[in-house]
Amino acid sequence: MAKLTVEDLELKGKRVLMRVDFNVPLEGEKVADDKRIRAAVPTIKYIIEKGGRLILMSHLGKPKGEKKPEMSLRLCVPVLSGLIGKDVQFAEDCVGDAVEAAVNRLGDGDVLLLENLRYYKEETKNDDGFAARLARLADLYVNDAFGTAHRAHASIEAVTRHIKKCAAGFLLMKEIEYMGDLVESPERPFVAVMGGAKISDKIGIIFNLLPKVDKIIIGGGMAFTFFKAKGMEIGDSLLEADKIDVAKELLTKGGDKIVLPVDCVITDSLDFAGRKVGELREVDCAAIPKGWLGVDIGGKSISQFSAILKQAKTVIWNGPMGIFEIEATSKGTYEMAKALAEATDQGARTVIGGGDSASAVLKAGVKDRISHVSTGGGASLEFLEGKVLPGVAALTEK
């Protein structure tokens, strides 16, 4: 990439302010899943091994400008300390005299984690004054938080106006280079798999990828808006009526590139909050009766989609094929995850675009058989849309 990277920096004795994504799930007062912390470890270790004085900053949850103890980053300290084999210090705030004093006490190779950035409303408002207070802590800036790189927040965008050298960490570099290379120089056949509830979430991606891919497989709730655009009856299935014309346009532009399910699993009742469904039937997608709604792809669609994936050499997947959070309607999503793993085993390069798809391959037990699982849900979506990510654009040019 044409931006400075952490390897371009002289780190010894320098105060390095690093944006990480430690927005981890919690259970009580413990970190339930440390994968986001693990993802930052290579850059953290590199900086401290080179003698940098490392100051880490992140958000956790949505405290909306209030200091909520249950969203304290203190809970990440023992996890990170164990992962890097070194005691991590903790600051009770992220700006102010006490924090500056703690930073000034750091020696070469020391690590200090700041308290939750979103305890201040100024963070999400990209407030320049708040960013300047953060910048006072450091000589250099490193962004290794791909998961938040699509946000123009103070610790991501505005802070770079106040620090001369701003570089990408290893995780950010890996995400941008891997996904960028995949989209711009794919080995063919190149297949995109798009799922999830709403077509509105994926319109930009589909338009951006259509000229580049050989096939786009559509599943999940968004498929029913496409069916409606084709004049099919969809019963009580999820529909974005205001996106029917967009679906028609995509079908016209895409032609035989767009592959829709041929059958689906339907139910006569759904209680998503209670994780319950009523009676289930498997029917052709053109035969959904009134009062019933689609909740998963059917067996014929699984076979059809799997056959396409097994021929592919490059695959991007974002979004589940059905309501995979409920066991009875999870088969389509998990079978697609397995098909993707088999494609990888046969030499395809496969990428999961974060979010629910990442959760699905983990639950299906095939995460280690996927080429790359992105750490950023929203960021990966915007990147696939072809948008410039503020967190990347703000870094220093080489």
Q: Tell me, yes or no, if 378 is annotated catalytic.
A: yes
Note whether 167 and 140 are within 8 A (CB): yes
Report d(CA 297, CA 323) in Å as an integer. 10
Dist CA 62 CA 35 (whole Å): 19
**DSSP characters over 113-175:** EPP-GGGSHHHHTT-HHHHHHHHTT-SEEEE--GGGTT---TTTTGGGGS-SEEEE-HHHHHH
Give the separation between CA 265 and CA 267, rounded to whole angstroms. 7
Degrees (nearest 5) of the Cα angle 64, 70, 76?
105
Is 179 in a helix, a strand, or coil? helix
Which is the catalytic residue, given 198, 212, 248, 313? 198
Tokens standing for residue 275 = 């994780």
Q: If you count DSSP H runs as helices and E runs as strands, how many of each does the chain have, helices first? A: 14, 19
Catalytic residue (one of 3, 15, 19, 36): 36
Q: Which residue is associated with the tokens 């209680």?
A: 271
- 349 has catalytic annotation: no
Annotated active-site residue in 195, 332, 355, 376: 355
- Active site (annotated) includes residue 198: yes
Neighbours of 174 (CB within 10 A): 18
Nearest one of 130, 116, 138 to 54, comparing CA atoms: 138
Catalytic residue of the set 235, 299, 377, 378: 378
Considering only CA atoms, which of 290, 351, 360, 353 is closest in space to residue 323?
360
HSE, CB side, 13 Å, CA atoms: give it for residue 227: 27
Torsion of Cα atoms, 149 then 152 then 158 then 164, to 10°: 30
Q: What are phi and psi of 57, to 5 degrees?
A: -140, 145
Residues involved in catalysis? 36, 198, 355, 378
